[in-house]
Structure formats: C-alpha cells, structure tokens
Structure 1
Amino acid sequence: MTNILTFREAKWPGTYKLVVACLVCSLSSQAQYAGQASDKQKISIKAPIKAYSFNLQDVRITKGPFKENMDREGQWLLSLPVERLMHSFRVNAGMNTPKTGSLTKMPKPLGGWEGLDMELRGHSIGHILSGLSLQYASTGNEAFRKKGDSLVAALGDVQKVLNQEGYLSAYPQQYIDRNIAATSVWAPWYTLHKLFAGLTDMYTYAGNQQALDIETRMASWAAKKLSPLSPEQLQKMLRNEFGGMNDAFFNLYAVTANPDHLKLAQLFYHKAALEPLENGKDNLNKLHANTVIPKLVGEARDYELTGNEKAKTAATFFWNTVIRDHTYAHGGNSDKEHFFEPGKISEHLTGNTSETCNTYNMLKLTRHLFTWSADEKYADYYEQALYNHILGQQDPVSGMVCYFTPMKPGAYRLYSTPDQSFWCCVGSGFESHSKYGESIYYHDDKGIYVNLFIPSEVNWADKGVKITQETNYPEEETTRLTIQTKETVRMPIYLRYPAWATAGATINVNGKALKIAQQPGSYIIIDRTWKDGDRVEIKYPMSLRLVATPDNPKVAAIAYGPVLLAGEMGKENMKGTAPFHDPEDPYQYYGYDYAIPASVSHTINTQGKKITDWLKPVAGKPLTFETTNTTEGKVVEMEPYYKVHRQRYVVYWDLN
C-alpha cells in the first residue's frame, strides 16, 4: 500500500501527480465467477470454460498448517467487537455511538489505517465481511454467519441514517468528489470496493439478502454519481487507485442481471493501464503493482461475462509478464510496492519486497486463467505462492500477519497488531487465510482435478462422489486419496504432475502400480470405474534446486520440491519482534532499519559443485538442510521459508 504521507510520485504517463494507495481487491464472490457454479448467478458465462471450481462449502480442510492458519484467522475475526468495527461509520453518519462495558465508556476507535484521521478508514470492514463469510463457507460454523449478519444489519442502519441515495462509507462523500475533481485523496473507490465485495460475499456464502439490498442501493448511488461525468473526467478519476471496482460491479451484475451494474463495471475501464496490455506491451515498470493487478482481475471477469477478447488478452499477457519478469522465488512481486525493470530481481532484494496483497490478487487472477485452460502452469504458480508467501504471512504464535516479505539478506518479518494496524495486507489476510479450500480441487463435466496436496475432503454431490485426501505434504512426498461412493461411477481423476517433480512419479491404485506416460508440468489421468473404498497413492520425489534470478545466475534462492528454503540467521540486534508495531508511526515499514549485523552470511562457496554436495539434509528434521560452505565457514541451517518467523533469514544467496 503506497504511503500517502511520503510517496506522491507514482503517476500514469502524461498525467499529473496523484496520491496512490494500495490495492487489496477482494475478488469476492468467488462463487460468482466462471470458476464456480452458483445458483445465485443469473448471467450465463460467455467464455469457454475447461475447469470449474467447487463451491467452497463442498471442501473441508481437515488438518495441517493451512487448517491451523485458518483457525487462528477465524479467532481474530470473531474477537473484533461490532461496536468498534462500526464506530467510524456511525461517526460519519452523525449517529450515537453505543456505550460499552459499564455504559459509561465510548467504544475505543480502531487504530492504524482504521483511525478516524485516516482517509482509508472503513476498508477493513469489507474484508472482514468477506473473511466471515468465507470462514462460514469453509467450516459451517454459525458464529461466523451471525457475526457477519450483525455487521450487515449495522451497515443497513448507517445507510438509512445517511440518507444519501444509497451512499455508504466511513468517510464523507466529499472524498469521492475530491477524487472526481482530480485533487489529492487516498483511494476512496478502493475503500468502497472492499465494502461492495464483502456484501456480495455475505449474500453469496451466507445467504444474507439484506447485504445484497444494501449493495444494490450503493450501486444506484454510484450510477447517479458517475453517469454525468464525461469520458475525460472518468479517466482522470481512474488515475487514482480504485481497487477492483470493475470486478465488484461485474460480480454484482452476474447476480442481479441489471444492465446498469454492467455499465458501472465498464465505467471503471482505465485506458492508460489496460490498452498497452491488450496490445502486448509491458508498461509495468515503476507502476504501483497492486493498483494494477485488481484491474486485470476485473478484466478476467469481463471476459467471462461478456466474451470481451481484449480483456482476455490483457489478463493473459499481464499474468505471463508478471510471472516471467517480476516474480520472486516465493511467488511475490514488487519492491516498495512497485514493479521495476523486467527481470531485474537481483537489484531489488530489499526490505520492502513483495507486498502480500499483490500475491493475494495474483492468485485470484490465476484462478480465472486456470478455469479457461486447465493449464498446469497456473496450478504450479498457485502452489508456489500459496505455500511460500501466503501461508508464511501469518505468525503461528500470535496469528498476526506481515505486510512485506523482505528479500534483503538478514532482514526479518514485521507483524501487525490485533486492533492497531489494519493495513491493506491485514484486510486481504482475513480472506486469504479463510479460503484455502478454493483451489485444491476443480472439475469438468467428467472428472476431478486434484491441484493441491492438502489434507481435505471434497464432496461432488452431482456425481455422488466424495474424495478424502490424507497427507503431510510437503513434509512427506506421498498423498493418498480415498474414494467414497454409494454406487460405482466412471470418472477420470486428473492428478497434477508438478513441473518441479523432475525425479518422476509413482502412482498406485489399490496397491497396483500405474504406468505413467505423462511428463512433469502436465496431468496424470486415471480414467476408470471407481467403487467405494478405492485408494490412490501418489508420490512425487522432491529434490534440491537453485532458483536463479533472471538477471544474475550467481544470485539464487534454493528450493526443495515446492518449498522455498531460507537460511536461519538468529535474532541478534533485532529491533522489533512479533507482533511489531510503532503506534507513533503507522508507516514504519518504509525504510525500516533492520540493523543487519555484519555477521550475517549470504555468500556460499559452491566451487562449481552440485547443490547436493554442499547442502545436506538434517536427520530427523523434515525439510531442513545444512551447509558449512558459507564464506565465513559458519554452519547455516535452512528450512521452509514459511516456517521462519521471529528471526533473521536469507532467501537469496550470492554463489561463488
């Protein structure tokens, strides 16, 4: 998220300076897009689809680190009092703010980016609505639905009291007027996008009709506000970050079939950002990354609902460009929230790399693209970013989350606080850690894709089939599938064969080995008649590999199978430990001094030898390796990056 207080230089070519802020789009309505069949969607899909996502309610994660993260995030969501979450909304409407406790104290306002002096206030409640509805869909726990219902009811009260033709926010409508007038303001449409998306999710996942009613009234206000504007005025307005407003209105259109909602989505088409991408031009250098990414999520939705081929071209070209030229080994992108010169990864190993919201949105875009083609490369990236960036965003001790994931050798993660941060990446984290079940399985008309190896169950009611997946992956190389069905069923199972699995694969069906003709980077297809109790055992042997930067082969990260490794560098001179926060400076993460000791080693003497010659497994410690080949001769232990918390680390190494 761009620092409004210190960064005012980002601009589109040929435009005046504008304050830009971050994006944290909530694709919300995962159940509304082409990747998921939904009885709530009224508009038919115009794009050809090869794979459909299961509804989130049909997948249950049963154990493991993803389940643990999801549970911690759920506890955080439930711990935030409605009175505090609604305080800024009620203040904006001039309403009485309910007393708490002894009825003599006003509710304590939330801090950080939700403070009453922050122009972005109100963005978190949209993410929280999405997080609650996603948790409800993922677990069936009624506490999440009830909490979401109470927030929706409170928002309905505020909208009624405001009485501004449907307008609803925690800040005055003048912020939108300032945006339209092209004067300095911190991303009011971005903030509204979160609210639109959260309300759609509450309707989609939790069946809350009032949420849809509130949202349609908000859309009516937006139509009246924007319809009088000239094309030139709209394009000036869109220079400021607007999150995924195009995506939000496309999703609303899918639910309501109201052509006014389609028109609203199309009004948020930003020519300066999107036309170059439609023409195959990489215009990303120096652009604020998470301002751009959600626009492409909206473009993907446009293609699905209208068949707009230009939108498909832009989304596909953008994804390929970002993955090839702008992505670090853990799946994240950007330095100080901005794209840089293509491929120059080795020059941007700083303490401000890889805003987590960027990866949250890249995964949304990836889901769309996978459904169009069922290409394994999209599932490979999804696994890379999910395990190595998103999973590691959350501190397993406190449950708090990171904004950046520093690639600077010797840096360490900085964490949020329960109620005094509310950065954009806190908001997207409420969603990311609540919807892990969304991309484990997909299906076509015939069979099931198994894309991720996470302990879980999927229920395909239309086929009368339930599949249980048991594994300790990635700490083990084997995953086991058990088929449950009342009647025999003929169906293919498409097993993802990861591109990293160059050592081959072993597949057994009911104990009998299966001959494998496919190559890594594809799908192994088992097409047979299944009966209740059939078992499939899949083994993908893992091996060590270097992940060199595109611009310098002598600078590389190290991976083992799907897992990125980080060298553990201890806690010497760490100025902040989790949960980290400076209440006097909510933007401390920019230019933060990690005070890296000179003793931190990030050079390895490979002497031209194979990686297995200088990096050895540690007995009894899964996914842990050790080397003494540092220039200082120090013993360095490496373990999965997602596990390295509350200490310094090295991800990228200089190789001699």
Structure 2
Amino acid sequence: MSWTRRSTLGAGIAFGALPRFTWAAPAATSIATPFSLSQVRLKPSIFLTSVRANARYLLSLDADRLLHNFHAGAGLPTRGKVYGGWESRGIAGHSLGHYMSAVSLIHAQTGDPQFRDRAAYIVGQLKAIQARHGDGYAGGTTVDRDGKTVDGKVVYEELRRGEIRSTGFSLNDGWVPLYTYHKIMAGALDAHQHAGIKDGLTVAIGLGDYLGKILEGLSDTQVQDILRTEHGGLTESYAELYKRTGNRRWLTLSERMRHHAIVDPLQAGRDELAGKHANTQIPKIIGEARLHELTGNADRAKVAQFFWTTVTRDHSYVIGGNSDHEHFGLPRQLAQRLDQQTCEACNSYNMLRLTRHLYSWSGEASYFDFYERAHLNHIMSQQDPKTGMFTYFTALAPGMGRVHSSPTEDFWCCVGSGMESHSKHGESIYWKRGDAVAINLYYASTLNAPEAKLDMDTEFPLGNMVRIAVTNAPKRLALRVPGWCADPLLKVNGKTAGVRDGGYLMLTGLKAGDRIELSLPMPVRVESMPDDAKLVAFVSGPLVLAGDMGPGKGAWDGLDPAIVTDRAEPVLVAAAGLHHYRLGEQGKPGDLTLRPFFAQHENRTAVYFRRFDVAEWPTQEAAWTQASKDRADLAARTIDVIRLGEQQPEVDHAFADSGQSAPVSHVADRSRNVNVGFFEFDLAVAPGPLALQVAYGGRQRDKDFRIMIDSEQLVRERLPGESTSARNVQTYALPTKMTQGKSKIRVRFESDKWQGVEVYTARTMRLKSV
C-alpha cells in the first residue's frame, strides 16, 4: 500500500479533477500532525515580509482600547478610547479575541517575547474582569435597550430566562453576541497553547462555565433556536476545553452546540448550502471535525469530509476562495457570481483550518493542493505587505481593485482573521507521520525539532527551485509533489534520488550534511468556470495570473478585457521572468500583461477572461465596444453625480442622514445602505428635461422605500425583478416642477424599516433628445 493513496481520495478540487464523493472512514487517531509553530522559523521571503508587516500593525494597536467595553461592562475604569468601525458598534469585542490569538501565534512563530507580554496582559485583564462580574463572564458587545446602549450581558441573562429572539445575525437584538463570545474564548485558549500563559485556560474555563450554565438550563429546542444566529466556533472551543481538562461537561456542551439544520443534511450527503451565509457554517464544520478526533464518531468525520469536498469542488473560485456577497450559491453556478464582493477572507481562513484537520486523518497530499492554492492566491493577496492592512472581499470582476482596512477605523471580521492568518505562515510547512517528516509547503524556513533539523532555501512560489540542507536527518523525508507539477526532479548531493509514493517523493538513508535539490517546473494551464467553458482563468504553477489593468483608484470606466481565439485553452505569450505573460494579439481591446494575482495589491486586475471564437468576434465586437460609447454618452449628459460611501463626494454634496446609514466601505465600489430613517444629499440641476439615475446592487430585490426630491415624493421604489450580479440601474424622469428655477435639488432615500439596499451612485442627467 502506498504511503498515501492520492488517487483514491474522494475529495474533489474546484480547479482540478472532480471525482465523486466516496465515504471512507478516517483513522481513529491522526496519521499526520504538524510540527509546533515554535519549531519553525521563516527565512526571508514573501511570508516573512508578511509576518513582519503584521507584527508592526499588532504592536501599533493599544490593548486597552480593545478592552474598553470589557472594562466598562464590568464597572472598571476604562484605560483607552474605543476604536472605530465595528469596534464602536454592537459587535465590539471580537477584535480583542482575534488580537489575543494573533499575538500568541506570532510569539510562537518568531519567539519575540513582547507579543507574549501582550497576550499575558490581556489575559490578566480578562481575569480581573471575570472576578468583578463574579460569574466568569467577560464581554465587549453592546445592545440597545429603551433607547440606551447597554452592556451585552443583558442578552445572556434574557437567554437564561428562556427569552430567545433569533435570526441569522441578531440574537435578542444583539449583533451576533455568541460570535464575539467565541472569539474571546478562542483567544484565551490560543494564549494558553501558543504563548504558554496558564491563566489563558482559566479564563476560557470561566467563559465556558458562564455560557454553559445558561445552555444547560435550556431545552434542546431552545438551544437550536439560539444556534440560528451566527455563533462562530463555540462547538470547537468547548471540545478544546474537554481536550485540555478531561472534564466531560465540556464535551456534552460541545455536542449540544451541533446545529442540526446545517449538519444533518451534510451527514446525509446533501448539498443544501445555496443561500446560506458561508462563514457562519464553516466553523460549525470545524467543530464537527474536532469532535470526531476526540470521540471517534465517524458521522462527524463524514460531515466534515462531505462539506469540504462540496465547497472546494462546487462553490470555489480559481483563487481557492468561496462565496459571493458572503453567501453560497447554487453548486457549480459561479459564472454569474463575479463582482466586487466575492471571496470573503474569513472563509478561506477557516477552510484552511478545516483542511488541516482532514489532512491529519489521512495524510493525503491532495488536500495540500487546495491548501496551497487558497493560501498563496487568497490569503497572501489579502494583506498589503507595505502597510499591513487587510481586505474584506477579494473582487474577481474585471477592473476591480482591492480595498484595504484602515489601522483604527474598520475592524471588520476579516481584519480579525487577517491578524491571525498573517501571524502563522509557518504552521503547515512541516508535518510528522510516524517516523517520516513530510514537507507540504515549500516556504523558505528552518525546522528545529528532535525528529529533524532542516534548512529550506527557496524563492517559491516566485521560483521553482527548492534546496534543503540536512543538519539532523529524519528517518524518512517525504516531499509533496504538487498536483500541478508533472515532472519534478529530485537530487541528493547532485544525484537523482527519491521514490514516488502516492503524492510524495520519499527519501531514506539521509545523513547530516546532505544537500537536497528539488526542481518543480511550473507550466501554465487554463481553468474555466464549471458553468461556462468560455470564461477562463490562467494559472502558472501554484499561482493564479491576473491582467494588470492599471492603478486602482477611481471608478472603472474601461472595457473588460477579452480573448479572441479558437483555442479552448488559449496560449499566453511568455514575457520576462517566471509567472509573467501577455495576451498578445488575441487580447481585446488590446494586449495585456499578466502576472501573479496575489502580488497586485494596488492596481485593478482581470482574473477571468471572456473568450470569443474568431468567427463570432465580428458579430460580438460591436456589442462589446458599445459599452464604452454608452459610458461616453452618459458622461456627456451628466450634470452631477455622487458616489455614495466615499468621504469627499459626500462632503461635496452636503450628505446627511438620520444616523442609521452606515457606508459600505470594504468593497471597491463603495455604497450606502437604505436603512430605517433616511440619507440625503444635494445634486446640481440645469434647464431642460432631466432624470435622476440611480445604481443599486443587483442582488437586492423586492424592497420598499421612497425617493424624495425637496420633501416631495418622486417614486416609491420596490425593485422588482430577478437577482443579478450586475448593477440594477434605474432612471427616473424628474418632473419639470421639481427642477425649474433651481440650481440644485435635495435627494432623499427614506424607509420605515431596514431594507439593505446598496445605493452606489446617483446622478442628475439630461434626457436624450428624441
């Protein structure tokens, strides 16, 4: 039997072969385990640059500001002003949990004691906060009660009394309080594990006890009702408490946190993910995986394996990320789900964590084909290494650029998971399996462990040569052969060596002083959308390529790039350097340079390209280029335009609102939501027949709100029609009486209830002459 049975793995990859899912019960104990993060040190590379940028950012943050609500809720003096963005809203506190995890992980990754000191300080403060509460509670969330903002603990005490009001993101009118509670619990557990802070476990036990007593007093039906609201990875955290303490109470609580509405269909082998919020579900499945490891329950393993297979094969884009507007769609229906809100970073953060569990059960190398893809192309694209700031979404629509967080005014969920992702790039390079050491990622690093001491020197993924110096030889060394590499060449001390065993090249008989060289040729290949063979992307070795479409500032007003060729798999023109190519003459409206997507942090990109056959292009070119003519005509007829959600345009147009309209600021094209109340602004007008044109998000349909002009209703809008990824552009004729004799009008969007309609632009324009 092979060391690994790569060819029989019943898990498809969205960007490779698509075998049917076949159930094979995993081993009761792990076959493979990662080396401790503290045993791995990164060498100069894009990964070390990322960790250092993240380290600077983490050190720039003030723990006391992240602790503000925790201190205030416990009646203790606050020591710093609360941060902006999500930290100044009801979900406040989640960032503290991520921060605890991040500083603990980066301490393990680098050995720098100042990060352990940060973790220890926060744990100490949480312990004092718990003591003040007297019941183990510590929380930073807030909620509105009777017109006042109060500590979120009131929600938990209502749950204790059996008062439950649960929706997808609201629990008793609190913004996902259990989600934040999990982040604090997970952060304390990480401080215990990765920074060696014993009180981290004490704090986690206190948190678990407080919530546990509430859950233990409720029926199973009531608990399932609570679980309808996003609750993060509480299943996993309770399982981890059981692992570290041996107290079966925590195991019972973990098992009660199983969300049957999600898990039961997966266990039965049914994909019912369409329409569900993606990152709400992934931590639940990680919990299932952890429970399998602790109990041996094969059904829980089946859930995890089926979910992973389904998401990677049927719901993932070429960069390894998944979801559009944070939600899953119909399986293998991705071509119409390309816009600026694809691929939430939190999703890939959690999918990589799930992948580590599944790999540990089987040692199948193909799990790392996905891991490498998502880590290099999504996670490494998320952070701008110059500033250390993070993206929320990774836009895959042509012409879109990246929008990064600010240091103190955002704190989205993906800022929190980003802090963690870029603290631990060394965590999955080296693995143990019996007497073998497996290298699954070729990231420049050293391993210093009793089993082996290795020094890996490489420019991977920007180079295809890997050199490993052996100081202390393992009994066996397994080198993963990536699925994209057909002809690896392995040498030891200049001589061809290694035996292919499944997805690995195996070396035995190594000794101190040996020099290993591995060559990994990186061919370019074409990958098309599963539902549209003419929508293609290019991958060079492990890296997704993207067209460089210029600086990322301002609105995109160019033509989407296309390819005209009869080749089902278009051939690129090689340019100078590895991973650099051009479209050449097949590119329309012209040639375009392609280079690694992850590294294009500041410019617009094109990842997917529409391919036209040579014979069909003459009939399609006119329609393709008409878009540019339409834009020119619109610009000529425009009198004034406001881009909602952007500071300067809103200032220029005297924007005001009733306090409920938050800008959607984590996407390339910013917007405003129509919420309860109103937002309004000025637009210039001129003589002649005029119209108001509004660009809405295409997915928001069947709504009910009003557009007012100088306090007079223009239209009651309901946005009928089918959901689409394209903008829903509506043009409303302006009655002459609303504009006559005026130089500007006051435009107001108002609603009696929350609508969630994204308004991107509004413009006044001259109507076309008949």
TM-score (norm 2): 0.72
Alignment counterpart, residue 311 of structure 2, candidates 309, 322, 331: 322
Contact map agreement 1:54 1:438 (CA 8 A) in 2: yes
Supply the AA of the counterpart residue of 1:632: K
Partner of 1:514: 497
Equivalent of residue 378 in structure 1, options 356, 367, 380: 367
Supply the distance in 2 between the matched residues of 1:418 and 1:209 (Cα, whole angstroms): 31
Q: 1:158 to 1:46 in 2, by over 3 A?
A: farther
Taking a change above 3 Å as real, the CA distance of residues 190 and 606 of structure 1, as seen in their structure-2 partners, is: same
| 1:344 to 1:156, Cα distance in 2 relative to 1, 3 A | same
State the match for 2:127 in structure 1. 156
Verify: 1:500 aligned to 2:484, yes or no: yes
The alignment partner of 1:161 has SS state of helix
Partners of 1:456 and 1:490 in 2: CA distance = 17
Change (3 A) 1:248 1:649: same
Match of 2:559 among 597, 600, 605: 600
The equivalent residue for 1:112 is 85
After superposition, residues 191-590 of structure 1 pair within 5 angstroms as 191-461=180-450, 463=451, 465-485=452-472, 491-502=475-486, 504-514=487-497, 517=500, 522-526=503-507, 528-571=508-551, 574-575=553-554
Cα distance in 2 between the residues matched to 1:208 and 1:608: 59
1:565-584 Cα offsets, whole Å, 9 max, x none, are: 01011127x33xxxxxxxxx
What is residue 741 of structure 2 aligned with on the other side? none
Is 88-97 or 270-279 further displaced after alignment? 88-97
Higher relative contact order (CA 8 A, sep 6+): 1
Q: Deviations over 1:434-481 (max 9, x none)?
A: 1111111111111111100100011221x3x20111001122111011
* Contact 2:390/2:415 (<8 A) preserved: yes
Q: Which moved more, 1:181-190 or 1:449-458?
A: 181-190
- The answer on whether the counterparts of 1:569 and 1:600 sit within 8 Å (CA) in structure 2 is no
CA deviation after TM superposition for structure 1 residue 517, in Å = 4.7
Aligned-pair CA distance for 1:184 = 3.5
**Counterparts in 2 of 1:13-162, with a 5 A limit?**
47-98=28-79, 107-115=80-88, 118-162=89-133
Equivalents in 2 of 1:87, 1:433: separation in Å? 25
What's the CA shift string for 1:131-182, capped at 9, x where partnerless?
Answer: 000000001000100111111111122222222x111101321233566612
Deviations 1:367-393 (A, max 9, x none): 000000111110110000010000110
The Cα shift of 1:609 comes to 7.2
Partner of 1:541, secondary structure, is coil
Q: 1:517 to 1:153 in 2, by over 3 A?
A: closer
User: As a proportion of its length, which structure holds more strand?
Assistant: 2
**How far off its partner does 1:242 sit?**
0.5
Distance 1:610 1:249 in 2: 49
2:575 matches 1:618: yes
Which residue matches 1:6? Answer: none
Q: Give per-residue Cα distances to partners, 1:397-419, cap 9 Å, x unaligned.
A: 21100000011111111110111
1:490 Cα deviation after fit: 6.3
Cα distance in 1 between the residues matched to 2:107 and 2:200: 15
How far is the alpha carbon of 1:46 from its aligned partner?
A: 8.5
Separation in structure 2 between the aligned mates of residue 632 and residue 616 of structure 1, nearest angstrom: 14
C-alpha distance in 2 between matches for 1:69 and 1:477: 21
Q: Deviations over 1:272-294 (max 9, x none)?
A: 00000011010101100000000
Aligned length in residues: 568
Q: Mark the runs of 5 or more structure 2 residues left unpaired by the alignment.
A: 1-25, 142-151, 166-171, 613-770
Alpha carbons 1:293, 1:362 under 8 Å: kept: yes
Q: Measure how far apart 1:605 and its partner are.
A: 1.2
DSSP 3-state at the match of 1:439: coil
Structure 1 residues 110-145: Cα deviation after superposition (integer angstroms, max 9, x where no partner): 011111xx2211001010000000000001000100
Deviation track 1:248-296 (CA, whole Å, cap 9, x = no partner) reads 1111111111111111211211000000001101010110000000000
Task: Tell me which structure has the larger Cα radius of gyration.
Answer: 2
Residues of 2 paired with 1:644 and 1:630: CA distance? 23
Deviation at 1:82, TM superposition (A): 2.2
Confirm or deny: 8 A CA contact 1:602 1:630 kept in the other structure: no
1:167 aligned residue: 137
Structure 2 CA distance for aligned equivalents of residues 57 and 505 of structure 1:
30
**Structure 2 CA distance, aligned partners of 1:332 and 1:629?**
31
1:10 corresponding residue in structure 2:
none
Matches of 1:375 and 1:230, distance apart in 2: 41
SS at match of 2:559: coil
Task: Check the 8 A contact 1:133/1:205 in 2, yes or no.
Answer: yes
Q: Which amino acid aligns with 1:295?
A: K
Give, as a single letter, the amino acid of the residue that structure 2 aligns with 1:111: G
Counterpart of 1:311 in 2: which secondary structure? helix
Q: 1:510 to 1:404 in 2, by over 3 A?
A: same
Shift of 1:632: 3.4
Q: Report SS of the residue matched to 2:237.
A: helix
- Equivalent residues of 1:178, 1:185 under 8 A apart: no
- 1:599-623, Cα deviation, whole Å (9 max, x unpaired): 23321112327633xx22222x432
Q: Distance in 2 between matches of 1:517 and 1:88?
A: 56
Read off the aligned partner of 1:435 and give its amino acid letter: K
8 A contact 1:457–1:467 mirrored in 2:
yes
* AA partner of residue 232 (structure 1): T
Task: Decide whether the 8 Å contact of 2:545 with 2:607 is kept in 1.
Answer: yes
Offset at residue 87 of structure 1 (A): 1.1
CA RMSD in angstroms comes to: 1.6
Per-residue CA deviations over 1:87-113 (Å, capped at 9, x if unaligned) read 111122222223xxxxxxxx3320111
**Paired letter, 2:497:** L
Deviation at 1:564, TM superposition (A): 0.2
Question: Could you list the runs of 5+ residues in structure 1 that have no partner in the other structure?
Answer: 1-44, 99-106, 576-594
Is the CA contact (8 Å cut-off) linking 1:356 and 1:402 kept in structure 2? yes
Asked if the contact 1:61–1:455 (Cα under 8 Å) also holds between the matched residues in 2, the reply is yes
Verify the 8 A CA contact 2:478 2:505 in the aligned structure 1.
yes
- Aligned-pair identity in percent equals 38
| 1:640–1:276 Cα change, 3 Å | same
For the residues of structure 2 that align with 1:211 and 1:608, how far apart are their CA atoms? 59
CA–CA distance in 2 between the matches of 1:294 and 1:97? 32
Distance in 2 separating the partners of 1:512 and 1:291:
51
**Contact 2:534–2:568 (CA<8 Å) still a contact in 1?**
no
Deviations 1:171-214 (A, max 9, x none): 32123356661244321111011011100011111111122112
What is the distance in 2 between the residues matched to 1:424 and 1:200? 19
Tell me whether 490-499 or 240-249 shows the greater mean CA deviation. 490-499
